[in-house]
Structure 1
Amino acid sequence: MAATEAGRDMALREATLRKLRKFERLRGQIVKVGEFWDVVVITAADEKQELAYKQQLSRKLQQKELPLGVHYHVFADPAGAKIGNGGSTLCALQCLEEIYGDRWNCFTILLIHSGGYSQRLPNASALGKIFTALPLGSPVYQMLELKLAMYIDFPSHMSPGILVTCADDIELYSVRETDILRFDKPGFTALAHPSDLLIGTTHGVFVLEPSGSSECGDLEYRTCHRFLHKPSLEEMCQSGAVGRKRTLSPKNLAVGDLGTPNSHSDFVYTDSLFYMDHNSARKLLAFYQQLGALTCEIDAYGDFLQALGPGATMEYTKNTANVTREESGLVKMREKIFHLLQGTPLNVVALNNSKFYHIGTTREYLYHFTSDSPLKSELGLLSTAVSVFPGGSEGSCEAPCVIQSIIDSRASVGLGSVVEYSWLGPDVTVGANSIISGCHVLTKAALPPSSFLCALSLRVNGRIMYATMAYGVEDNLKQSVKALSDIHSLRFSGLGFLECLDLWGLKGTEDLFSGSQTSLSLWTARIFPVCPSLSESVMASLRLLGAVRNASPLCLTSHELLSVEEMLFYKDVEAMMRWRAHIVQEIHLQGCQADVSEEFSFLCTP
């Protein structure tokens, strides 16, 4: 008999709770050899981001928010061409070699890719995706703590090697007490999650060798014949990637704990993180050292994993359909990687009771933090975390989510909105489905629905200044055009960008944009006022946004204006962390509000 979905969900929640408890016991403690990672590496896009990450890591270690006795590193990509997370992996191996020599052959290493500027979730742009706050724990968990907690069982059952993961996804899984998830086979080992076929078209998909067993437990060790990267439905079916699982009838599920399988649904196994043993890592390092500088983007999943397994062919090397920017040397680089890794085994750990979540976009962020999402239940996410929010409605569907913030009892926060690291006064109204981050608003203000507002501290010519990015939550900051004549195709908060410029009294000239004049976008548009105080900055950008929503003119020509690209260049990480610490101090003075279920109460220290 098969367990019900409710039973599997309960097992997933209990397994997650156990990992969180285990991690809590290690926070601030010196870990024993083999108990935790020997080395934790975070990659950064450039030296500026590297410094920001190091500052935050240092603060976490000082405040004993992480396990101690571990080597934590941040490695920046070299200046020049974008090299992708595959290139970042190669550079990280070189950095480990320079620091440790042959000693890293004996280490268990966690490598977290966090080198992007999070244009799809801009409130993570300044301080990094891996430092995205979660409505969980006290001190508030960020993605780094959650990843360390969810992988807490891995190091003790791992041969020396490197586990590669990304900063904006969450993997939850449960296995039987007698099962152990091991990373101890030669070559590569990847986790695999059962997903519907549509999900498979946007992820990596494993084509597995026949298992030889009719039983399907929560954990299966399988061999991968070949790996497909973002395949079409037709490719998945033709390659043999599609499996069929038995499902339970709704009638039986509603009756009791056990149901009877009576139907089938198609699924594929999709990817998340992967491990490589030290021999494979050494092979990649030697390859990188022979290459010298990288000149094109390499994908750690698409370009490494597609070369593995007995069914791998060179056909994928010429497929550039999923490449954001095709460089001339990409195909040749892929061919070299294929020949290097050809014949290397790809082992798969199929986690049949697992979930894979991505929170790298504003839509995903709002959904998982404010709706009645499975993740909220499985992780014990709160509606009010380390905050003063007398008007909160913990547990209600689409309740606003408030993280490390102070909100006056007379303020209003709309359903489906997230407020983080902010202080809002009595006459502030936040519209539904909005994101507000790092803001200080004590005067009367109204943020329209579906708005995005994120304030940054800057250091400009030696002075502390402030600027606040403001958009619609659905705005596409990654969309760019190559000529000024095409900027009419950009849209800001639902309105054509040229119309917005007219409302603001600005002209669409080359001087309006920072950076490359062949890549014009909302990201590089100089439209945000620089102000001497945080509250002035927030109000100035709020007026800018309101002008668009209300179609009312607002002259910006008297302000010094920056683009988001420039704001990130001038960002003052220490000042932003001081602001967050100030909020925490005030929260403790006023009394922290958080309705925590008893089973998750260990996450909230007094």
Structure 2
Amino acid sequence: MNNLTSLFLSQSYKDTWDDYNRSLTSETFPQWDYIILTASDENQAAGYRSQIESRKDFLPSGTHFAVIPDEGNVRVGSGGATLSVLRYIQKRETERRRVQEGSQAEDEVFDGLRILVIHSGGDSKRVPAYSALGKLFSPVPHKLPNGRSSTLFDEFLIAMSSVPSRIREGMLLLSGDVLLLFNPLQIDFSGRGAAAISFKENVETGKNHGVFLNSEDGNVKKFLHKQTVETLRQAGAVNVNDCVDIDTGAVIFSAEVLKALYLLISTEEKYFRYVNDRVRLSLYGDFLYPLAEDSTLETFFQEKPEGEFCPELTEARKAVWEALRPYRMKLLRLAPAKFIHFGTTREILKLMNGGVEDYKELEWSRKVNSSITGQTAGYNSVLSDRAVVGEGCYLEDSFVHSRAVVGNGVILSYLDIHDEVIPDHVVLHGLKQKNGKFVCRIYGVQDNPKESVLFGMDLEKRAGELGISEDELWGKREHTLWQAELYPECDGIQAAVKASLNLYEIFHNGGDLASWRKENRKSLCSGFHDADASAIIAWNKRMQELVQMDEIAKDIRQGKPVREVTDLEPLTKIQREWMEKRLNRADFSEAVRLNYYVGSALGSREGDKYIEDSFRTISEQILASAMKNLQYNENCRIVCEEHTVKLPLRVNWGGGWSDTPPICCETGGTVLNAAISLNGELPVEVTLVKIPEKKIVFDSRDMDVHGEFDTIEPLQRTGDPYDSFALQKACLLACGILPAQGGDLSEILERLGGGFEMHSEVTNVPKGSGLGTSSILSAACVKAVFEFMGISYSEADLYAHVLVMEQIMSTGGGWQDQVGGVTNGIKYITSTPGLNQQIKVQHIELKPETRQELNERFCLIYTGQRRLARNLLRDVVGRYVGNEPDSLFALNEIQKVAALMRFELERGNIDEFARLLNYHWELSQKVDAGSTNTLIDQIFLSIEDLIDAKMVCGAGGGGFLQVILKKGMSRNQVHSRLKEVFQDNPVDVWECEII
């Protein structure tokens, strides 16, 4: 399509979509009274009804939908099917109006009705994959604005939703394999006689379809069906642009025409005389022909019929002529417009591999609701990134797994392909039968099932060469691919796929002919007639559900932010099973993100459960890793009566959050921090005291808790963050004083030399300080236990055991706090990726003048408020797990900042260190916007002229702030300024020193 036509039709489509939505929501908007589909038999009709039922929430409630199969389940022609529709409406309207309005004349039932009829009763022989549900429900490469994958039926309903407002009454008849794109506002129908909707198409296209010859008064003068280009030119049907008025298959009949047609079948005897498989009246050949001005009865009798010439047809044509000849058919020539014929397998493959670009303005795409990367086209399909797929392939409601190999130019339809090798240029189509068995039909993309050709070979000749008799393939049926009994009926779809590939090999000088002969086999025709329509719809739904899940998995691998993932409805049974299988084989990172992404996409309580599982996975897997490192120490003994350990606090400078699981587990961590005293004291204190009783006593004065234990089992229960003694228990397990499982406490204490008390407290430090008190307390416990029990250790041992202890407690926090406070000095701390974090600590040696300047310019400010009780850790980790770009950038950048800070400190450049601290503060707010608030902003603003840098301590939101003073400024000046602004508020400077 040229650009102007594309834009015009794109706007027209948007308009019709709006009208379609109005038909769903507005009681006054004009809509169809009836939408009726015709079907070839009751089996196909049942499939159509199932499709309509599956869409009931998306169909206008004021419209009556019906499916009318051909009378007697035999082919009665499109004209016969039209008469069956009239009979159905007449019966229903007569009864409905009799109940509502009392008696009414029979010939008035069509008055005031707007009726849409879609003739869709074909076998779809040239596209066998669409036979079972009919070409009407074949895929269109378009994702509807409401997110659903489109079919011809959906496109028909949307495109025609504006037509009722353009006609007062009458019937619009459409061909079920032709999609018409036009602006309905162009329809101008007076309501008398009939009207044919025609588009301009190139004469080369027109020669394969019907063409209208227009008269001077705007009516159809002559109907030319599949005529040569020369004939069309001689008739004057070709304009100066080499275009013709093509028959789109769309025609409007007025109420008068409908009445005239109904009179042909007004009795049972008349109905069965004209609606049968011998007469086979045609809508286009028999009903439209008499409406053309130049038609004559003699030439009408000679028109090629839909069935065979016979006396019954001649009689029927005479009756049709008499009924319709008084009327004329107006030619509605619409432009710009587009006529798309879904005709053959080859045309569909061509459309999906490039032709669809012509309709990109209509938002058609090579990939529709499919989880596919690369160039493969797909509709409701999943393609594993590890599968090998050739060029120019199209997947339709199929799942191609990782070990599959698919050739070039292949169409796969309604299949799971696991480890099979699919040859080039074939179609494989899976179909469940009513008896519960499966067939997989295989044929060449270029094959025409109406002919006797398979894989481009003469089927009859090749079968003879293989020793397959005509009787084996056809019996007394027509010798075409459509009727050839080629496809083994199997118990499962995978067996059916293997059987179809065996058939391919047989015809290419391989395969197992003997096993093929033993099987009960189906033809394309019988497989279609015996198909389980409900199973096809269920498979389609299954694939839609699997696409959603696989798309999330691919989004995770590609790093797509969780906020951009498509929302999910509550998970179905298929999706829950997919999740279970996927999680069973997922590694740590995928399991964490899969739960988080699915939970976020679901939202609500169901989503919360999956998000909870995401964080549970982090803690459980880290805990499992830590428990593997536990070693029970049977050699330690209490070596003193009492021992006390005091530790400093820490301030965080660079790399905060990079030490937090799963961030550090996946990328490693980099942190720069320093130990500090507060008000001249080391506030974290742990004391161990030997006692004669065979028990362990925990006492925490600052927490005001006390507990005594004389059995081992309660001491081995870990992982409960609400346990008042979780820290102390974790310490004894991490240090090997108690075994993780089993053992007798009395015997253990006997070996140790007695029971003991563990006193722990943090003095004169506000709760939620942000200075790492709880984690440093863990470090103090480990250090005190080592020294109390006579366990030799290195600094690295101390860090490692504290880390195991934190993991046992399942707090979800990182390692920088305990490492920062367990030893004095400024420390540059790194770890490599892995669940079991290996910590490397480097002490930074500063020149004396640098240390002095840093201590003079470094200042701690207390905000007077406790850090807000927010789900902070989950917010930050959630943004990381959810691949939020700002967060990922900041988390990566802050590690670089930590390295640069170290560099600047080592060369004595405090000003540049301050600049980097400010930059880190900006990055911290990208990681967690809640790290600041109005009070914090106000504090920083009030001393802005006194400082070169600012930063929160810890996660922020409260507790302490840290600043670097401008040269020449003092802590007293900051104190005075804060008191001016905040007066009696606790906001103030606290004395501290980097030690």
For 1:507, the equivalent position in structure 2 comes to 469
Separation (CA, whole Å) in 2 of partners of 1:605 and 1:200: 45
Of 75, 82, 92, the residue aligned with 1:89 is 82
When the two structures are superposed, what TM-score results if normalisation uses the length of structure 2? 0.51
The answer to whether residue 476 in structure 2 is matched with residue 497 in structure 1 is no
For 2:835, the equivalent position in structure 1 comes to none
For 2:346, the equivalent position in structure 1 comes to 363
SS in 2 for 1:288: coil
Of 568, 584, 590, the residue aligned with 2:550 is 590
Residues 207 and 468 of structure 1, relative CA distance in 2, 3 Å threshold = same
The answer to whether residue 194 in structure 2 is matched with residue 188 in structure 1 is yes
Residue correspondence of structure 1 range 383-532 to structure 2 within 5 A? 383-389=366-372, 391-393=373-375, 400-442=376-418, 444-460=419-435, 464-479=436-451, 490-498=452-460, 500-501=462-463, 506-509=468-471, 511-513=472-474, 517-532=476-491
- Could you tell me whether the CA contact under 8 Å between 2:356 and 2:366 is conserved in 1? no
Separation (CA, whole Å) in 2 of partners of 1:328 and 1:559: 44
For 1:223, the equivalent position in structure 2 comes to 219
1:372-421: CA deviations, max 9, x gaps?
446432432112211221x333xxxxxx3201111111123333322111
Separation (CA, whole Å) in 2 of partners of 1:392 and 1:377: 18
Residues 164 and 528 of structure 1, relative CA distance in 2, 3 Å threshold = same
- Could you tell me whether the CA contact under 8 Å between 2:280 and 2:307 is conserved in 1? no
Of 13, 20, 41, the residue aligned with 1:16 is 13
Unaligned runs of 5+ residues in structure 2 are 95-107, 556-565, 569-995
1:349-381: CA deviations, max 9, x gaps?
111311111012112212222214464324321
Larger Rg: 2
Of 233, 240, 251, the residue aligned with 1:274 is 251
Amino acid in structure 2 at the alignment position of 1:471? Y
Amino acid in structure 2 at the alignment position of 1:181? I
**Deviation (angstroms), 1:225:** 2.6
**Deviation (angstroms), 1:180:** 4.3
- Could you tell me whether the CA contact under 8 Å between 1:383 and 1:392 is conserved in 2? no
Residues 21 and 432 of structure 1, relative CA distance in 2, 3 Å threshold = farther
- Could you tell me whether the CA contact under 8 Å between 2:5 and 2:337 is conserved in 1? no
Amino acid in structure 2 at the alignment position of 1:435? I
Residues 174 and 163 of structure 1, relative CA distance in 2, 3 Å threshold = closer
Amino acid in structure 1 at the alignment position of 2:271? G
- Could you tell me whether the CA contact under 8 Å between 2:394 and 2:412 is conserved in 1? yes
**Deviation (angstroms), 1:14:** 2.5
SS in 2 for 1:110: strand
The answer to whether residue 177 in structure 2 is matched with residue 147 in structure 1 is no
Residue correspondence of structure 1 range 96-495 to structure 2 within 5 A? 96-101=89-94, 103-137=109-143, 138-174=147-183, 180-210=186-216, 222-244=218-240, 265-272=241-248, 273-289=250-266, 291-293=270-272, 294=275, 295-321=278-304, 323=306, 325-373=308-356, 375-389=358-372, 391-393=373-375, 400-442=376-418, 444-460=419-435, 464-479=436-451, 490-495=452-457
**Deviation (angstroms), 1:43:** 0.2
SS in 2 for 1:20: helix
Identity %: 25
Amino acid in structure 1 at the alignment position of 2:10? R
Separation (CA, whole Å) in 1 of partners of 2:73 and 2:162: 38
Residues 46 and 477 of structure 1, relative CA distance in 2, 3 Å threshold = same
Separation (CA, whole Å) in 1 of partners of 2:417 and 2:37: 34
**Deviation (angstroms), 1:431:** 2.5
Separation (CA, whole Å) in 2 of partners of 1:421 and 1:284: 42
Separation (CA, whole Å) in 1 of partners of 2:349 and 2:247: 24
Separation (CA, whole Å) in 1 of partners of 2:310 and 2:504: 37
Structure with larger RCO (C-alpha < 8 A, sep 6+): 1
Separation (CA, whole Å) in 2 of partners of 1:57 and 1:525: 32
**Deviation (angstroms), 1:338:** 2.1
Q: Which moved more, 1:43-52 or 1:562-571?
A: 562-571
Q: Which moved more, 1:427-436 or 1:494-503?
A: 494-503
Separation (CA, whole Å) in 1 of partners of 2:220 and 2:460: 51
SS in 2 for 1:106: coil
Q: Which moved more, 1:83-92 or 1:559-568?
A: 559-568
**Deviation (angstroms), 1:17:** 3.5
**Deviation (angstroms), 1:534:** 1.3
**Deviation (angstroms), 1:574:** 1.8
Of 575, 582, 585, the residue aligned with 2:535 is 575
Separation (CA, whole Å) in 2 of partners of 1:134 and 1:5: 21
1:177-214: CA deviations, max 9, x gaps?
xx542333301011111122233322222222236xxx
Separation (CA, whole Å) in 2 of partners of 1:188 and 1:383: 38
**Deviation (angstroms), 1:168:** 0.9
- Could you tell me whether the CA contact under 8 Å between 2:264 and 2:319 is conserved in 1? no
SS in 2 for 1:591: helix
Separation (CA, whole Å) in 1 of partners of 2:222 and 2:453: 41
Amino acid in structure 2 at the alignment position of 1:286? L
For 2:518, the equivalent position in structure 1 comes to 558
- Could you tell me whether the CA contact under 8 Å between 1:132 and 1:143 is conserved in 2? yes
SS in 2 for 1:135: strand
Higher helix share: 2
Amino acid in structure 2 at the alignment position of 1:558? K
- Could you tell me whether the CA contact under 8 Å between 1:228 and 1:306 is conserved in 2? no
When the two structures are superposed, what TM-score results if normalisation uses the length of structure 1? 0.82
1:85-118: CA deviations, max 9, x gaps?
1111111111111122254432211100010110
Residue correspondence of structure 1 range 49-88 to structure 2 within 5 A? 49-61=44-56, 64-79=57-72, 82-88=75-81
SS in 1 for 2:434: strand
SS in 1 for 2:428: strand
- Could you tell me whether the CA contact under 8 Å between 1:440 and 1:535 is conserved in 2? yes
Separation (CA, whole Å) in 1 of partners of 2:73 and 2:137: 25
Separation (CA, whole Å) in 2 of partners of 1:502 and 1:239: 48
Separation (CA, whole Å) in 2 of partners of 1:117 and 1:421: 20
For 2:637, the equivalent position in structure 1 comes to none
For 1:546, the equivalent position in structure 2 comes to 505
Amino acid in structure 2 at the alignment position of 1:236? L
Higher strand share: 1
SS in 2 for 1:40: strand
- Could you tell me whether the CA contact under 8 Å between 1:229 and 1:301 is conserved in 2? no
For 2:576, the equivalent position in structure 1 comes to none
- Could you tell me whether the CA contact under 8 Å between 2:477 and 2:483 is conserved in 1? no
Unaligned runs of 5+ residues in structure 1 are 212-221, 245-264, 394-399, 480-489, 595-603
1:247-293: CA deviations, max 9, x gaps?
xxxxxxxxxxxxxxxxxx33221111010011101110111336332
Amino acid in structure 2 at the alignment position of 1:242? V
**Deviation (angstroms), 1:478:** 1.7
**Deviation (angstroms), 1:499:** 5.2
Residues 322 and 416 of structure 1, relative CA distance in 2, 3 Å threshold = farther
- Could you tell me whether the CA contact under 8 Å between 2:42 and 2:73 is conserved in 1? no
- Could you tell me whether the CA contact under 8 Å between 1:466 and 1:532 is conserved in 2? yes
For 1:6, the equivalent position in structure 2 comes to 3
Amino acid in structure 1 at the alignment position of 2:157? L
1:44-98: CA deviations, max 9, x gaps?
011111111112211221xx23333321100011126532111111111111111
- Could you tell me whether the CA contact under 8 Å between 1:468 and 1:538 is conserved in 2? yes
SS in 1 for 2:123: coil
